[in-house]
Amino acid sequence: MKKNIMRLAAFAAIAALALGMGAQTAATGATSKKLVWALEFKTKNAKPSSAVFSYDVGGGGWGNLEHQAYVDTNVRTDSVAQGNLVFKATKYEPNINEDIYYECPIATPGSACEFLSSRIHTKGKLAFQYGRLEARIKNPKGDGTWPAFWMLGNDFPANQWPNSGEIDIMEGKGANPWTIWGTVHGPGYFGGDGITGTLALDKPVHSTYNVYAIEWFPNKINWYINNKLFHTVTPKSVGANKWVFNKPYFMILNLAMGGRFTGDLDPDLKSATMYVDYIRYYTINGQGKVTGTAAAIKAGKPTK
């Protein structure tokens, strides 16, 4: 996703902690993966952990011409046995003559936003460098929906986008529900010129859960859906431009509605929902680390 400006909550003080032990290990061939941090969302009807996540709040998508305002009320866990973190975009119809309302850069009366949704991030609390980061997600249904699981360089906003770098692990377009996009943005390759790979699936992504992942190494990032490799980026991919991916990145999840990437919204769409079953982070052959506050690392410490 193309972002020009991003409001961030006040950053928590960071302890320079790294976690890479006491967790599950799985091996396939010559590759050994060790689970070192995870969120499974088993607590019922709860807001995202404040130890791990902060909210972005505001309207318009920070340069993307999106139709939603982000608020801190449209994401929480559900009550099913599996456990999900649920992002819900709901129709927003303020009385523009009487209400104080959220504005978006769109052609509506009073430029009022059309939906409320949520975006959460780990900036100032948790960052990842190398290894495998994955989430099991069921995407929303409806033309104009724009779900995303992505990362920004941990030096943002001091180092402004796109120089900070961006890794889009998963983006979806509601009007094309069989296809997923994986992209990097950086200096000289951003917005519509981001380096992108796609994969078309045999079922609409709103009909089932899929596991979206990157496996990230110095000078290389691989993208996977359900363990199927579909995109690889290396310094050669960015040509004469700067490779900005050998450093820590923080994580973001959101459900946008409309905007430059996804196109027009279905005028009859009243709501949309994205379900996140889990988020898991592994080292690969001992490579990779998660750093951050003691509370954020403890919140994701594997129990097995």
User: Would residue 66 show up in a list of annotated catalytic residues for this protein?
Assistant: no
CA distances from 17 to 52, 103, 127, 129, 282 (A): 14, 40, 10, 13, 16
User: Would residue 134 show up in a list of annotated catalytic residues for this protein?
Assistant: no
From 66, 114, 134, 171, the catalytic residue: 171
From 66, 114, 166, 215, the catalytic residue: 166
Residues annotated as catalytic are: 166, 171
